[in-house]
Structure 1
Amino acid sequence: MRNHKRTALLGAICAAALLTSASARAEEIVVSNYGVSANGMPFAVAMEKGFFKEEGANVTGILSSAGGGTTLRNMLAGNAPYAEVNPNAVIAAVQQGADIKFISDNVLTVAEFVWAVKPDSPIKSVKDLKGKKMGYTNPRSTSQALATLVLQSGGLKTEDVELVKTGGFGEGVAALDIGLVDVAPVPEPLWAKYKDKYRAIAKASDMLPPIANVLGAASGAAAATKGEFIKGVIRARRRAVAYMQEHPDEAGDIVAKVYNLDPAVARAAVKSLVDSKTNGVEYWGPGQFHMDGLKRAIEVQKMVGAISGDVDAHTLVDTQFLPDDLKALK
């Protein structure tokens, strides 16, 4: 009897250890600029609403990172099965031999961007930027590439302005405030916070076509071993996007907590982006690939030297983890 009790006790201890181990193995995912930029907001909603667990993906944490290269390093170093990242970082890594694929097309436009000036500025449109100082975050960044496109939309070239590196979007707002630049890119949710203080002279949703902004990515190793988890993440994010469309105020309140924003600011940012349509294309997509947007993103990044050489967008895409109704390429 004593041996039976000891065996039962050992069995219980082993079971508890296995449960603890399984809990410890519950996965984290990596999202570029999570808690700062608008792209990652659906993940905050999915976490708060319990969508990940309901879809079979035990996401225990969302790691943030300041940019695509850092996101990929965090994904690979921590064996994270899923990362949301800008396309140029993945393409550059693939060109260097990394086994990584795009597995979902998450943010389909750059509608979160406006270019703002002080209210009393004589600059009324892009055409008035000639000879002025235009802020951007860092060399080879999305903001540098978009600055080029915005200038082109007004009939100008990059040589017609002085491009000034500010190091970040918040730093760009500060530079605008003290006169180091004449115009700065201000993305959501910063724009919702500062729109009463500055004046927009250009909006990406009005001036630029749909451009792939961030995409879901996975390594070959994760694709081979953690496919069901990845599918669950994509389904949960899709549900979060639908929830944000149906309940923008409630979603804004969730975002406010995670992003440390005033609820009114978060609500305004969510509603602005939910309502946004660029040539009929929404900002947050459910995951289905829009190949024209991805191809534009590649060309845009080539313009600033972030990507070089020939790139076949179709070879970068793996649709196996998408729900069946989203597998077809648009």
Structure 2
Amino acid sequence: MTAQQSRFRSTRTFAALGLAALSLVASFARADEISVTQWGTSLYGLPYAVAMENGLFKKAGIDITGILGSGGGGTTVRNILASDTPYGEVAVAAALAAQRQGLDLVIVNIGTRSVAESSVVTVKGSPIKDITQLAGKKVAITSPKGVSEMLLLMSLKAKNVDAGSVTRVASGGYVNGLTLLDQKAVDAAVLIEPLSIIRKNQYDTLYKSSDLLPPMTTSVGITTREFAKAHPDKLKAIIEGRRMGVQAIYGNPQQAADILAKSFKLEPVIAKEAVDNMIAPHMWSEGDFNLTELERMADALRLNGELQGNVDWAAIMDKSYLPTDLQK
């Protein structure tokens, strides 16, 4: 090989490497990361896991490569605001709190619409067999004004139990609440799936929230108005990809359970039971707004003091980014 041929081959090699590098950079530039509350611990995020695993986001026109999780509330909202793709799924309470703080956020789709994940448990062999017997007792919640306290208060109200007669003990977390229960510092504890399934042989279920309460909106998709206006196609693709993820869950629960086990590092049998438990109450919404179910959540937030007055839903929602058939 002549020196000239060698230089020519080297030039071609560097050029090819340069093009490959540019392609890789472009790929990273196109990749997006969004935020989902309680990712990895709650079932809110399953549609996103299914959509990523099955390439449904790419089919919808966007490459979602990762999910940024958090403990919920304001942390998730802050993660969304700090992201290059400021979209995320948060609890309704967090969305309304952000709006009250003057943050320019808008609700663009509904996430979940059931409280089927929540339950209250007692120690094995407890004499407490009915929610009405919680009067005069102590119940572990995660935090004051949190979802766990809210659902407890709603359940007590549904069975005409005076909330003032039940002492709520803030434990700081669901596992912490079980520790208090084991130590007999409380008489019952609020729990959430899949933890309740993992520990089901250790405790008795006093009741499931969905046995006492009707469907209500529990999480919503939010973004900034600036992002929605500047990138409507990207936002629509996220919502459509998630919707296809929801459809895939209902269409093939076994595959969804397999993905849940892989993504959330659960035993397959536990993941399967968790998914099956959420199918009947139709936990995951395809995204369309239901004002009745939104108002039920608002009533719940008023009950625990997180919300006062009415919510002007029309002012903080925009359904124009939903698939056309869901905008009705």
**Same fold, TM exceeding 0.5?**
yes
Work out the CA distance in 2 between the residues paired with 1:74 and 1:319: 23
Q: Please say if 1:243 is aligned against 2:248.
A: yes
Per-residue deviation, 1:147:
1.1
Per-residue deviation, 1:186:
1.5
In the superposition, the TM-score normalised over structure 1's length comes to 0.90
Q: Secondary structure at the match of 2:74?
A: helix
Alignment of 1:163-242 (within 5 A): 163-242=168-247
- Aligned position for 1:300: 300
Q: Secondary structure at the match of 2:63?
A: coil
Q: Please say if 1:31 is aligned against 2:31.
A: no
Letter in 1 for 2:23: L
Q: Please say if 1:275 is aligned against 2:293.
A: no
Contact 1:27 1:81 in 2 (8 A): no
Contact 2:154 2:303 in 1 (8 A): no
| CA-to-aligned-CA distance 1:41-88 (integer Å, 9 cap, x gap) | 111111111111111111111000111211110010123331000111
The list of structure 1 runs, each at least 4 consecutive aligned residues, that deviate by more than 4 angstroms after superposition, is 5-18
Q: Please say if 1:121 is aligned against 2:138.
A: no
Q: Secondary structure at the match of 1:60?
A: strand
Alignment of 1:130-141 (within 5 A): 130-141=135-146
Contact 1:117 1:184 in 2 (8 A): yes
Distance 1:320 1:14, change over 3 A: farther
Letter in 2 for 1:320: S
Q: Please say if 1:146 is aligned against 2:160.
A: no
Q: Secondary structure at the match of 1:28?
A: strand
Per-residue deviation, 1:319:
0.7
| CA-to-aligned-CA distance 1:141-177 (integer Å, 9 cap, x gap) | 1111111111112221221011011111222223222
Q: Secondary structure at the match of 1:236?
A: helix
Contact 1:116 1:200 in 2 (8 A): yes
Per-residue deviation, 1:287:
0.6
Work out the CA distance in 1 between the residues paired with 2:178 and 2:15: 60
Q: Secondary structure at the match of 1:320?
A: helix
Letter in 2 for 1:35: G
Contact 2:34 2:83 in 1 (8 A): no
Q: Please say if 1:161 is aligned against 2:163.
A: no
Contact 2:32 2:65 in 1 (8 A): yes
Contact 1:55 1:235 in 2 (8 A): yes
Q: Which moved more, 1:312-321 or 1:170-179?
A: 170-179
Q: Secondary structure at the match of 1:251?
A: helix
Work out the CA distance in 2 between the residues paired with 1:10 and 1:225: 37
What is the RMSD computed on CA atoms of the aligned residues?
A: 2.3
- Aligned position for 2:68: 63
Contact 1:148 1:157 in 2 (8 A): no
Per-residue deviation, 1:246:
2.2
Q: Secondary structure at the match of 2:257?
A: helix
- Aligned position for 1:312: 312
Show structure 1 runs of 5+ residues with no match: 277-281
Per-residue deviation, 1:8:
9.3
Contact 1:74 1:80 in 2 (8 A): no
Contact 2:35 2:80 in 1 (8 A): yes
Show structure 2 runs of 5+ residues with no match: 1-8
Work out the CA distance in 1 between the residues paired with 2:265 and 2:183: 25
Distance 1:256 1:9, change over 3 A: closer
Distance 1:119 1:80, change over 3 A: same
Work out the CA distance in 2 between the residues paired with 1:309 and 1:99: 20
Question: Sequence identity of aligned pairs in percent?
Answer: 37
Decide which of 81, 92, 96 is 1:91's aligned counterpart.
96
Work out the CA distance in 1 between the residues paired with 2:59 and 2:73: 29
